Structure 1
Amino acid sequence: MSTAQPQRCGLVAIVGRPNVGKSTLLNALVGQKVSITSRKAQTTRHRITGVRTEGDTQFVFVDTPGFQTRHGSALHRTLNRTVVASLVDVDVVLFVVEAGRFGLEDAKVLALLQGGAMQGKPVLLVANKVDAVHRRSELLPWLKSMGERADFAEFVPLSAKKPADVERLLGIVRPYLPAQPWFYDPEHLTDRSERFLASEIVREKLFRLTGDELPYASTVLIDRFEEDGALRRIAATIVVERDAHKAMVIGEGGERIKRIGTEARHDLERLLDAKVHIELWVKVRSGWADSEEHLRSYGYE
């Protein structure tokens, strides 16, 4: 008689306020870069799915934009709708906070998790960046106070940068996934296309290399994505809101936009396992981030 375990598979949402390390955690869980990261708040703007198949279990992780409570532009409203919509069909939620910290923004995300579609679904408190806690003796009282805020299924202090912590989290999540066939082939890493990943990688380099100089309202559009054997030819447009922002992106003598293109090319060649030729342009579209029409045309959900 067969003693093989049935396959397990389920959707795991990763939620939290901006800049708590959700995308870093997703990439660590998948074992590959599928979601971009930067210090700029709300770098993630789309629902990103990352797939990890291990043993008899397939984990389908859903990285969501940081739930925004401070601003009310059309872009931020769209991102918040993405967060809420992502929670409807999931089997378990990883609520990511910074270990030892819990502010008003965290509380608003927790209130979202405690309402409506999330009723009865297990929520695991993931206390990230535990390596940054100076006094470990304060962690236990803090975890106890968090347990008084909500009925969390598990408490998981970790550092998303430590592989052993990530493996431990996978083991904790596994029993919460239903016994059912896998959604994807075992080699699958994400449901996003190479074209989408290219736009995200360029946007990551844009954010990382401009820092706080460039306002949040900038995005990247792929004008052309061609496959020629082991070569990818990519043309992309960086959209900003003002002429001054365009000058920031281009940099003196075009130095900054060249560096954005070079770093994006290196990442994409590793990610796509192909040679990449990339051309970048910069255009000004005033008010795009507060226009529902522009947002739809730029691919925001």
Structure 2
Amino acid sequence: RDRYKDALPWKEVYPISALEGNNVDELLTTLKGQLPEGPQYYPSDQITDHPERFIISELIREKVLELTRQEVPHSTAVVIDSIKRQDEEKIHVQATIIIERSSQKGIIIGKGGSMLKKIGSLARRDIEHLLGDKVYLELWVKVQENWKDRQDLLASYGYRQDDY
């Protein structure tokens, strides 16, 4: 350790452990304190430059990937079909999970709909947190072979040309 420490004129040395996390907080605190403040690109109350529809679709997609892990490849898209306020206290969200192969459909739906229900339940909780209201989430699963290779489908699913 001392050999590296003496090799260059370091300002500070932090021995850290990725495995145990030793000194990581101290290193991050020091780094943050030394970073120059950059320009403010967005208003203070704006937390993202993406529309709500995009964030909602990504929350649902996240749950699909977390819950199915290795079984369903990352070639999954989520399209928000509609977002409507049902009444003063509830928002109705309809979304379609797009997959590439029929064999993936059974995995996403699960036995008796159990996986789709779990995906919906976890995603709904996150969407309610995002929107600040109760959400009724309705999910559908659609097989669209080779969707990621078709420009027309990518565009209709909300992917911009610069995304792919």
Aligned equivalent of 1:191: 49
Letter of the 1:201 counterpart: L
Aligned equivalent of 2:67: 209
Shift of 1:191: 1.5
Higher helix share: 2
Letter of the 2:116 counterpart: I
Higher strand share: 1
| Consecutive unaligned residues in structure 2, runs of 5 or more | 1-15
Number of residue-to-residue matches in the alignment: 144
CA RMSD of aligned residues (A): 2.5
Q: Does 1:173 align with 2:35?
A: yes
- Which structure: larger Rg? 2
Aligned equivalent of 2:121: 262
Alignment partners' CA distance in 2, 1:286 and 1:197? 24
Deviations, residues 156-198 of structure 1 (Å, cap 9, x unaligned): x95xxx6x766555433334x25xxx43332221122222111
Deviations, residues 228-249 of structure 1 (Å, cap 9, x unaligned): 4342210000001111101110
Sort the Cα spacing of 1:229 and 1:292 in 2 relative to 1 into closer, same or farther, 3 A.
same
Alignment partners' CA distance in 1, 2:29 and 2:94? 38
2:94 aligned counterpart, secondary structure: strand
Sort the Cα spacing of 1:186 and 1:241 in 2 relative to 1 into closer, same or farther, 3 A.
same
Deviations, residues 255-290 of structure 1 (Å, cap 9, x unaligned): 000000000011111222211110000000001012
TM-score of the superposition, structure 2-length normalised? 0.76
Q: Does 1:252 align with 2:111?
A: yes
Shift of 1:291: 1.6
2:145 aligned counterpart, secondary structure: coil
Alignment partners' CA distance in 1, 2:159 and 2:73? 18
Alignment partners' CA distance in 1, 2:70 and 2:113? 19
Alignment partners' CA distance in 2, 1:225 and 1:270? 15
Letter of the 2:35 counterpart: V
1:270 aligned counterpart, secondary structure: helix
Deviations, residues 121-172 of structure 1 (Å, cap 9, x unaligned): xxxxxxxxx65246x8xxxxxxxxxxxxxxxxxxxx95xxx6x766555433
| Consecutive unaligned residues in structure 1, runs of 5 or more | 1-129, 137-156
Aligned equivalent of 2:8: none
Alignment partners' CA distance in 2, 1:288 and 1:174? 43
Aligned equivalent of 1:277: 136
Letter of the 2:92 counterpart: R
2:139 aligned counterpart, secondary structure: strand
2:35 aligned counterpart, secondary structure: helix
Sort the Cα spacing of 1:190 and 1:169 in 2 relative to 1 into closer, same or farther, 3 A.
farther
Matches within 5 A, 1:1-301: 131-133=17-19, 158=24, 168-175=30-37, 177-178=38-39, 182-227=40-85, 228-301=87-160
